[in-house]
Amino acid sequence: MGKQAIYVGLDVGGTTMKAAAVDDGGKPLSAPAVMDTHPERGQDAGLQTMCETIRRAFAAAQLDLKDIAAIGVATPGLMDIKGGLILDPPNLKPWKNVPVRDFIQKTFNKPTVFQNDANAAAYGEFWVGSGREAKSMVLFTLGTGVGGGIIIDDVIIEGEHSHGGELGHVRIVEPDRGRRCGCGARGCIEAYASATNVVRRARDDMAAYRGETQLRQFFTANNEEFTAKDVFDLAIGGDELAMKVIDDTAYYLALGACAVIGAVDPEMIVFGGGMAVEDWFRDKIDAYVRRFGLPFPVKTVKVKFATLGSDAGFIGAAGCARLAMKTK
């Protein structure tokens, strides 16, 4: 036979889901099939959409079911990774206790692997993205929230309660003075460094700022539509307060990275998501990591930006399927 094994990875998000066939070297065989998730239509419809997205991925790569070695599915938490269940994810309301893995496994009669979406993205970057040369890697994904995943020697740190690598909620400021996070706690990384919270911090900093800043007119003109990208753009344009907000963001992310360095001492820390674009921002994070991290590890720990973009989830899900087949 000698034929290279092919895997399908499905990445389920609150808005859309994406799937593609991926070869044994981590290369997608087509652009991903994309469908709307419509969680409000209920979980049975959701399971059907997952299967349809997977079928479209077969078709896009001109493959039949028989060509597929295994399927990997990634979803947001809360979940039970080992049980193959979506539990009660805030992004997929009103779904509850959805037996994703078994449903897909039965539908296609293929080995199916279930994983947290941030863990899958981390595995994707580890497998064929910016971490492909690393033996251990930690990913922070910067979006509406801050997600994370930890991979050590091809092992994904899933956690006893499927919360391994829940890095957005590692605390960097003490609870009595930290910013309030969406999770209810205070001082989480996410409360400082998610795209949403970069904008919030910009607004708060502006309120206390005496100098000139373009943030003021931006917030007044389009309060609702102002994004982290706008803060970055103003910083690039030389706005001093915007620069401070971005610099603080790098500092907070570095504190999060330092906590993870103390816990697992990875070879590489990777930041992904819409804010992980500008080299000078990476350099700022890097400098703070070296200033505030454990002296011995930070001599050589690598700080990088992700390279797979929004493909990391389905590529990583396919990679998890591949990993499970190899280690069986």
Instruction: Name the residues that contact a copy of itself, by CB under 8 A.
Output: 78, 135-136, 150, 152, 155, 157-167, 169-175, 183-185, 255, 258-267, 292, 294-297, 299-301
CB-CB neighbours of 123 under 10 Å: 34
- CA-CA distance, 163 to 165, in Å (whole number)? 6
CA distances from 213 to 94, 146, 193, 282, 301 (A): 42, 27, 21, 24, 36
Listed in sequence order, the residues at least 6 apart from 153 whose beta carbon sits closer than 8 Å to its beta carbon are: 135, 136
Closest approach of Cβ 60 to a copy of itself, in Å?
36
Q: Among residues 48 and 97, whose Cβ is nearest to a copy of itself?
A: 97
Listed in sequence order, the residues at least 6 apart from 242 whose beta carbon sits closer than 8 Å to its beta carbon are: 202, 213, 214, 215, 231, 232, 234, 235
Listed in sequence order, the residues at least 6 apart from 320 whose beta carbon sits closer than 8 Å to its beta carbon are: 9, 72, 74, 113, 115, 119, 120, 123, 156
The CA-based angle 112-101-170, given to 5 degrees, is 105
Closest approach of Cβ 58 to a copy of itself, in Å?
34
Closest approach of Cβ 261 to a copy of itself, in Å?
7
* 3-state SS assignment for residue 217: helix
Closest approach of Cβ 286 to a copy of itself, in Å?
16
CA distances from 119 to 9, 167, 289, 301, 316 (A): 13, 11, 22, 20, 8
Closest approach of Cβ 37 to a copy of itself, in Å?
22
Q: What is the DSSP letter of 309?
A: G
Q: Among residues 63 and 292, whose Cβ is nearest to a copy of itself?
A: 292
Closest approach of Cβ 323 to a copy of itself, in Å?
15
Q: Among residues 10 and 122, whose Cβ is nearest to a copy of itself?
A: 122
Closest approach of Cβ 148 to a copy of itself, in Å?
8
Q: Among residues 37 and 162, whose Cβ is nearest to a copy of itself?
A: 162
Q: Among residues 255 and 275, whose Cβ is nearest to a copy of itself?
A: 255
Q: Among residues 44 and 204, whose Cβ is nearest to a copy of itself?
A: 204
Q: Among residues 20 and 118, whose Cβ is nearest to a copy of itself?
A: 118
